[in-house]
Structure 1
Amino acid sequence: MNSVPRPLRNIGVIAHVDAGKTTTTERILYYTGRNHRIGDTHAGTATMDFDDQEKRRGITINSAATTVFWNGVQINLIDTPGHIDFNIEVNRSLRVLDGAVVVFDGVAGVEPQTETNWRLADKYGVPRIAFVNKLDRTGADFERVVRMLEQRLGVKALVLQWPIGTEGGFRGVVDLVGERALVWRSDDPDDGYVVQAIPTELVAMVQQRRERLIEAAAEQDDEALRAYVEGAGVSGEQLRACIRKGTLAGAFVPVLAGAAFKNKGVEPLLDAVVDYLPAPGEVSGARQPESDPQGPLAALAFKVVSEAHGLMVFVRVYRGRLQPGDTVLNASTGRRERVARLYEVHANRHEERALLQAGDIAALVGLKDTLTGHTLCDPQHPLVLEQIVVPEPVIDVAIEPKTQADQQGLSRALQALVKEDPSLHVRQDAESGQTVLSGMGELQLEVSLEKLRTKHRVEVSVGRPQVAFRETLTQMTEVHHVHKKQSGGPGQFAEVSLRLEPLPRGAGIRFESRIVGGAIPREFIPAVETGLRRAAEAGVLAGYPCVDFQATLLDGRFHERDSSGMAFELAAAAAFRVGAAKAAPAVLEPVMAVEVITPVEHLGDCIGDLHRRRGSVRAQDQRDNVVTVQAWVPLKEMFGYIGQLRALSSGRAQYSMQFDHYAVAPQGVAQESVSA
């Protein structure tokens, strides 16, 4: 790795919806001088929410990138959506980022989507800073949020700041590292903060907290630990170095405090990003090669945007350099592509670049066949970087073009949508012939259909949202099938013996060949797998994709002249249909993790309603007169839930949900889905 890391930070801002993520990002843009006015999410003036739908809905839909500078360090910043329907944006951003700022609502604390994003950051090994926001709101409780961080996320929270004042009286923070108070003069962003002595009433508590901080941080360095144990004291510089080391190692998560909307806490947050989050190459792992600007090119495409003049592909360069006119190898497809232009992106503004090097995040123009997750590399040094895992869709809508002109544009428009958002799937329903669009939730599908109309000028008729059922096998079976055709022309012959057996939920489809002695030539075996997978797509009960099973090719025969890949593909498909029908097939339905927050007086009604929806309550947590209920509920029962919840609670309860797992549907639901 580089002996001296670049003064560069690639970070993302992630959170549950409405935790104040985009508001925090807008303040970062203002304080770093990127913007000269502060945008507002709800007024539709946020820089990072530049899409028309984002402005109208007041939420972040697309991840947006920008570059800012703070204390001589370049910060490439990605603002991500908080809504679960757009979680692919968080997923693919975290895959290429070196660090993240996780924003928590000071009242709500750790919310469901925060947990999902946190697990994603764990998966990709991304060091984090926690920023407890909205501490000026009624009900905000910094200490409670810190406890939730440790209990729900299973991490060690390292408190670096303590709030001065509570709720409406919140006016600053105690900097535990520097042993000083930072007090903001007013809510005006230009007034800034003044450094003061720590308030007398907080001195004892701050000493206690600082002692804990030094003890935890000093464990990261032998010299600092020795100085602490011997009572010599740990210097401020040593302490910051220890905090950085522990943050990068994942030993703990630094916690800061603020109220971004009131312009309090953002400058110290930027200081922490520079001090404690890694530069490119400082956190090594299997997912990225060494960050060497002189080495052969290695870059990962993590986002594709369709524009009028072609595709704009966002990449993270891990190694080497890239210039306009370079030819690169797409190692995921095996094809070579030529890079026409390079752009540094600032939300919806683009600045042309002459060079990219290891550590940079930027956009390329000129690539034709590069998609999310593809690796771009030096043609002489091929390698494939770890892919981006895309979640399975759980909800479908059938769409039909309104006119002949729309028919011609629909296929092209859907192709563009799926290129941009790989969590969308498109398929043709075998029985009805309808085009089915599948996604992660109603809001995502609604936004995608709006894009069809406004961006691609295609009008469609839309069916009611439907649950994306699946099928699976519940018993093991073996099946033997001969495919033989001899009616004029060359014949077709293929014989296969298969074993089909169920796998645990979420395992997908596995294929194994146990052919020995050349019973089936090696070149025909991939065709057997292709036939199996193609047949599984259509299921055997109601046309839903069949998942979570293993197919083992046990034996077979071939004919020297009449056997072909096509014949074995057809034989395997027919064998699957026969075998799956004998393996006690079952319908699977998506089950959602639902969190309901309700006043205590409406708790009984809310729980009763969840039970009527076939829900099972997992946990309850009461705080003051508000109760948080966590439950598993089948998605089929959640359509129209918000209206019922408001009616039950006089409009005071709220909920959020996200996909959790697939489960075997009860017989009545399964029969209904088959009939439909």
Structure 2
Amino acid sequence: MSSLVEEINKRRTFAIISHPDAGKTTLTEKLLLYGGAIHLAGSVKARKAQKHAVSDWMEIEKQRGISVTSSVLQFDYDGFRINILDTPGHQDFSEDTYRTLMAADSAVMLIDVAKGVEEQTKKLFYVCKQRGIPVFTFVNKLDRFGKNPFDLMEEIEQVLGIRAYPMNWPIGVEGSYVGVYNRQLAQVELFEKSGAHGTTVLPSKQGNVNDEEFKALLGAEVHQALIDDIELLDMAGDTFDFDKVRKGELTPMFFGSAMSNFGVRPFLEEFLQLAPAPAPRLADSGVIYPSDPVFSAFVFKIQANMNPAHRDRLAFMRICSGKFTRGMSVYHARSGKTVKLAQPQQFLAQERTLIDEAYPGDIVGLFDPGVFGIGDTICGEKERLQFRDFPVFPPEQFARVQPKDTMRRKQFIKGMTELTQEGAVQVFRPSDYSVESFIVGVVGSLQFEVLEYRLKNEYGVDILMNRLPYGVARWLTSQAGPVEIKTLKNMESSMLVFDIHDRLVALVNNEWSLNWVMERNPEVEFLKVPADAQII
């Protein structure tokens, strides 16, 4: 039986981050293919032909070809237990992505070879840097024409402020690469052309860069260009220093094509050797180390209706320390109650496996009868601790939402409550609580579409949605005590609402209007998020 430390050292828990359309879901799928977790990959381009990536399970994702929720995928490869957190790339769902990064020990930053570093990639990179998460770079879509690899290295440094160290280097002509050169092993790997369009593992041939066979296969011009590139990298490039990777000063860089499987296996194998094992976590009582025998975990995601047939609700927890065993009783910090963790599950997209034990770094799904909330700490019954609060995101768009059919009021309230607990939207109650409606706040407008879709398809409720003209939300507080609505001045063009914890919030049109209102209420503080929350 392996020890706790041995199990911890086997774990690799990472998130894949990128701008939309960089091929993130495809890469996730191909890692599963090479890991032996699936045997045939469904091309993402064939989604309309009823083939969908294994990590996209929600119907709206299949229709639109985007990921709008974070998937959790687990499999074993080469002695490692891998937990992949596949996150939404679309900026309208950045809240879900940021929360998922709280559960990751490292991140794979996916970059489109033609587009380079894009806007959403920048935002997610800075969140990783802020949290001290080591970032590995995979330059994708090498089966197409794109930027020169040296230009991409320079762009990463200038745009993100981090040096890039190529672990491998593409061989061939731009848009027609035939292999990669492994710098650590001084080894060439050439990939065979395949008519399988990326659905199966791509055969390859390996050997020394100076072998006559490879010189002949590559041709004199391509071979000499590779030798010249390697010399330039060795002379002018950085030396590899993993301490700099940990500090966020250096990113190991890989090249490949997730669509055609080019370079995926070399990336997976080298990444698993380099990526960190589960890291310590900060709690109110100090640093919690994975090897601590006392069990601890936190909930970073809640998902209702993953299985529409059962209308189930799952809480995803990241184990931070100790050993998890099925049926164990734990302390739930927020409620102060003891909870029994029955029917724990691990996932390969829609495939679920009931598990008996799990270790730090692992992600476990728990059936949730409505007990858990995002950011909740779970720990041993005798050891009371609280992990650091999750970040909160100020909403920027608002709408009044109510059911078309008042007879569906019960289902409407249930749906709104559950989707709020998931963190899919933020919900507020009007201060003049006169009609059965909610004020919904989101970061991006696509969240409104998903809300409407899910209420209809999961709860059978058609809604009326009226967009509101507000763009700024502020939580109101005062040194003198609770803020009284009747004492506030010049709020006629603003809307006063309460959040789910009955805290008073002002919705105003824009920053100029906010400054005008603040000047007329100097005794009140207007906070971007509640006073006890961390802002992103």
TM-score normalized with structure 2 length: 0.82
- Residue 275 of structure 2 corresponds to 277
What CA distance in whole angstroms lies between the structure 1 residues aligned with 2:402 and 2:477?
Answer: 34
- Residue 216 of structure 1 corresponds to 239
- Residue 149 of structure 2 corresponds to 142
2:405 is the counterpart of 1:403? yes
2:88 is the counterpart of 1:65? no
Deviations 1:7-28 (A, max 9, x none): 1100111110001111111111
Preserved contact between residue 10 and residue 97 of structure 1 (Cα < 8 Å): yes
- Residue 544 of structure 1 corresponds to 495
The letter for the 2-side match of 1:411 is I
Aligned length: 481
Q: Once structures 1 and 2 are overlaid, which stretch shifts more, 293-302 or 419-428?
A: 419-428
Q: Give the secondary-structure state (helix, strand or coil) at the position aligned to 1:405.
A: helix
2:118 is the counterpart of 1:116? no
1:367 Cα offset (Å)? 5.2
Preserved contact between residue 11 and residue 98 of structure 1 (Cα < 8 Å): yes
Q: Once structures 1 and 2 are overlaid, which stretch shifts more, 7-16 or 157-166?
A: 157-166
Preserved contact between residue 290 and residue 321 of structure 2 (Cα < 8 Å): yes
Preserved contact between residue 330 and residue 337 of structure 1 (Cα < 8 Å): yes
Q: Give the secondary-structure state (helix, strand or coil) at the position aligned to 1:299.
A: strand
What CA distance in whole angstroms lies between the structure 1 residues aligned with 2:246 and 2:473?
Answer: 43
2:60 is the counterpart of 1:38? no
- Residue 303 of structure 1 corresponds to 301
The letter for the 2-side match of 1:194 is K
Q: Give the secondary-structure state (helix, strand or coil) at the position aligned to 1:116.
A: helix
Deviations 1:637-665 (A, max 9, x none): xxxxxxxxxxxxxxxxxxxxxxx99xxxx
What CA distance in whole angstroms lies between the structure 2 residues aligned with 1:538 and 1:170?
Answer: 66
- Residue 458 of structure 1 corresponds to 461
Preserved contact between residue 538 and residue 546 of structure 1 (Cα < 8 Å): no
- Residue 201 of structure 1 corresponds to 225
Preserved contact between residue 25 and residue 79 of structure 1 (Cα < 8 Å): yes
What CA distance in whole angstroms lies between the structure 2 residues aligned with 1:114 and 1:286?
Answer: 29
Preserved contact between residue 313 and residue 367 of structure 1 (Cα < 8 Å): no
1:311 Cα offset (Å)? 2.9
Structure 2, unmatched stretches of 5+, are 210-222, 499-503, 505-516, 529-534
The letter for the 1-side match of 2:265 is E
The letter for the 1-side match of 2:239 is A
Q: How do 1:547-558 and structure 2 match up within 5 A?
A: none
What CA distance in whole angstroms lies between the structure 2 residues aligned with 1:7 and 1:540?
Answer: 57
1:429 Cα offset (Å)? 6.3
Q: How do 1:11-90 and structure 2 match up within 5 A?
A: 11-44=14-47, 45-90=52-97
Deviations 1:276-297 (A, max 9, x none): 110113x666798443455222
Q: Give the secondary-structure state (helix, strand or coil) at the position aligned to 1:332.
A: coil
- Residue 427 of structure 2 corresponds to 425
What CA distance in whole angstroms lies between the structure 2 residues aligned with 1:280 and 1:99?
Answer: 9
Preserved contact between residue 330 and residue 376 of structure 1 (Cα < 8 Å): yes
The letter for the 2-side match of 1:216 is T
Q: 1:286 to 1:176 in 2, by over 3 A?
A: farther
Preserved contact between residue 425 and residue 447 of structure 2 (Cα < 8 Å): no
1:143 Cα offset (Å)? 2.2
The letter for the 2-side match of 1:204 is D
1:167 Cα offset (Å)? 3.4
The letter for the 2-side match of 1:259 is S
Q: Once structures 1 and 2 are overlaid, which stretch shifts more, 134-143 or 168-177?
A: 134-143
- Residue 500 of structure 1 corresponds to none
1:71 Cα offset (Å)? 1.6
Q: 1:471 to 1:440 in 2, by over 3 A?
A: closer
1:352 Cα offset (Å)? 0.4
Q: Give the secondary-structure state (helix, strand or coil) at the position aligned to 2:89.
A: coil
2:400 is the counterpart of 1:449? no
Q: Give the secondary-structure state (helix, strand or coil) at the position aligned to 1:6.
A: helix
Quick one: percent identity of the two aligned structures?
Answer: 25
What CA distance in whole angstroms lies between the structure 2 residues aligned with 1:394 and 1:344?
Answer: 35
Deviations 1:337-365 (A, max 9, x none): 22222111111221001122323211112
Deviations 1:272-326 (A, max 9, x none): 2211110113x66679844345522211000111234553110011112233332
Q: 1:292 to 1:254 in 2, by over 3 A?
A: closer
What CA distance in whole angstroms lies between the structure 2 residues aligned with 1:351 and 1:585?
Answer: 56
Aligned counterpart for 2:247 among listed residues 246, 249, 253: 249
Preserved contact between residue 131 and residue 257 of structure 1 (Cα < 8 Å): yes
Preserved contact between residue 396 and residue 442 of structure 2 (Cα < 8 Å): yes
Q: How do 1:231-630 and structure 2 match up within 5 A?
A: 243-281=241-279, 289-292=287-290, 295-307=293-305, 308=310, 310-366=312-368, 368-421=370-423, 423-428=425-430, 430=432, 433=435, 434-463=437-466, 465-470=467-472, 509=476, 511-512=478-479, 528-529=481-482, 531=483, 540-545=491-496, 582-583=520-521
1:2 Cα offset (Å)? 7.3
1:446 Cα offset (Å)? 0.3
Q: 1:183 to 1:535 in 2, by over 3 A?
A: farther
Preserved contact between residue 293 and residue 321 of structure 1 (Cα < 8 Å): no
- Residue 212 of structure 2 corresponds to none
Preserved contact between residue 299 and residue 375 of structure 2 (Cα < 8 Å): yes
- Residue 509 of structure 2 corresponds to none
Q: 1:431 to 1:151 in 2, by over 3 A?
A: same
Q: Give the secondary-structure state (helix, strand or coil) at the position aligned to 2:151.
A: helix
Preserved contact between residue 4 and residue 359 of structure 2 (Cα < 8 Å): no
What CA distance in whole angstroms lies between the structure 1 residues aligned with 2:487 and 2:441?
Answer: 18
Q: Give the secondary-structure state (helix, strand or coil) at the position aligned to 2:201.
A: coil
1:332 Cα offset (Å)? 2.5
The letter for the 1-side match of 2:454 is K
The letter for the 2-side match of 1:206 is I
Preserved contact between residue 471 and residue 544 of structure 1 (Cα < 8 Å): no
Structure 1, unmatched stretches of 5+, are 218-242, 473-507, 514-527, 548-568, 570-578, 591-659, 662-676
- Residue 221 of structure 1 corresponds to none
Preserved contact between residue 162 and residue 175 of structure 1 (Cα < 8 Å): yes
Preserved contact between residue 341 and residue 366 of structure 1 (Cα < 8 Å): no
What CA distance in whole angstroms lies between the structure 1 residues aligned with 2:330 and 2:490?
Answer: 40
